[in-house]
Amino acid sequence: MNLIVIIAATLVAGIGSVWLAALLLRVGVRSGSGGVNSQHLLSLAAGALLATAFMHLLPEAFESRIEPALLFAVLLFGLVFFFLLDKAELWHHGHEHHHGDAPDKPDAHNGHDHAHDHHGHAHNHAPKGGGSWAVLTGDSVHCFGDGILIASAFIADIRLGLVAALAVLAHEVPHHIGDLVVLRQSSANQRAALIKVSLAGTMTMLGGIAGWWLVDQLHGWLPYFLVLAGSSFVYVALADLIPQLQKRLPARQTAAQILWLVAGIVLVTLVSRLAHGEHGHDHGHDDPGHGEHGHVHKD
């Protein structure tokens, strides 16, 4: 049962985020007034990621009998690990964004504000074919990793998995907006760009299947997987999303950013409560029938 739910959730997070990004592009995503404000999307995604990590993934991991100091060490390792992957352009990908270019276009860096010289794309220059494939390759690796994280959360608890899938969906939408902008600059065929990014999004499902198999084989390591998932969400929020919001803005826009950040936290909380009402959540740590770490694994 878990595998079917994981496949469904990863497909929604991976491909659904692409289609939602395409819809927002059609409506109009802008960095200023009018249309859908990209800053609001970033704030919403950051709030969802932080709430999922600190209110769900990490508490779930710390409910195990593993020494907290060891789990904190894994958390630190995860943050450093994702930083190094970011530096190696394996976890995140990006293209150089120059502020002020094409103000009527969405920020192609909405989800990932990186200025990697390897890609060197600006909004007023169409990337070469190799650049677009580099974007798709990086996106595929990123989506595969997201799938593993979602699977780890689902194996711990279906409610936790739903919350993690929602958080991934939230931060992938602005990310995929950037991907679509880049690919549309390299090709006049917008449908082809959507298909390519959607295919990269299917890697989330493959990552989910791989994660389900891996965690199933190493079920005693589940709390460590949850901490790594939490460190990933924290890193993306603090290193990628929030720095783009740290700008001097009028009081009204600053208040809007804060409200959307809170909205992301509230959204995750509501989804968690709804899922809890439907599925229940009983760790049963005192039940000797549970595993070493207090989690029940159901196929």
Query: pLDDT tens digits, residue range 76-91?
Result: 999 999 888 877 765 5
User: Mean of the pLDDT values across residues 43-62?
Assistant: 92
pLDDT class for 298, splitting at 50, 70, 90?
very low
Cβ-based neighbours of 10, under 8 Å, separated by 6 or more: 146, 147, 150, 151, 165, 204, 205, 207, 208
Instruction: Classify the C-alpha dihedral 269-272-276-282 as positive or negative.
Output: negative
- What is d(CA 97, CA 79) in angstroms, rounded to the nearest whole number? 25
Return the pLDDT at 89.
65
Domain coordinates in residue numbering, the chain: 2-27+36-279
Confidence of residue 164 (pLDDT cuts 50, 70, 90): very high
Amino acid at residue number 34: G
pLDDT in tens, 248-297: 778 888 888 899 999 999 988 888 777 665 544 444 444 433 444 444 44
**Mean pLDDT for all residues in the chain:** 77
* Residue-wise pLDDT tens digits, 102-125: 334 344 333 343 333 333 333 333
Angle, alpha carbons 205-209-212 (nearest 5°): 130
Contact criterion met (CB below 8 Å) for 159 and 281: yes
The dihedral sign for the CA sequence 228, 233, 236, 238: negative
What are phi and psi for residue 286, nearest 5 degrees?
A: -85, -5
CA 257 to CA 4: how far, in whole Å? 37
71 vs 273: which has the higher pLDDT: 71
Least confident of 63-67, 134-138, 194-198, 209-213: 134-138
Determine the pLDDT at residue 34.
52
Instruction: Identify the residue whose tokens are 């909380």.
Output: 269
State the pLDDT confidence band at 75, using cuts at 50, 70 and 90: very high
Q: What is the pLDDT of residues 181-231, one digit of tens each?
A: 878 777 667 788 889 899 999 999 999 999 999 988 888 899 999 999 999
CB 178 within 8 A of CB 108: yes
Locus of tokens 């395409």 = 22
pLDDT at res. 131: 53
Residues 182, 134: Cα–Cα separation, whole Å: 11
Rounded distance between C-alpha atoms, residue 241 and residue 290, angstroms = 38
Side-chain-side CA neighbours of residue 37 (13 Å): 13
The pair of three-digit structure tokens given for residue 190, joined into one six-digit string: 């917008």
Residue 51 host element (H or E): helix 38-52
% of the chain with per-residue pLDDT over 90: 37
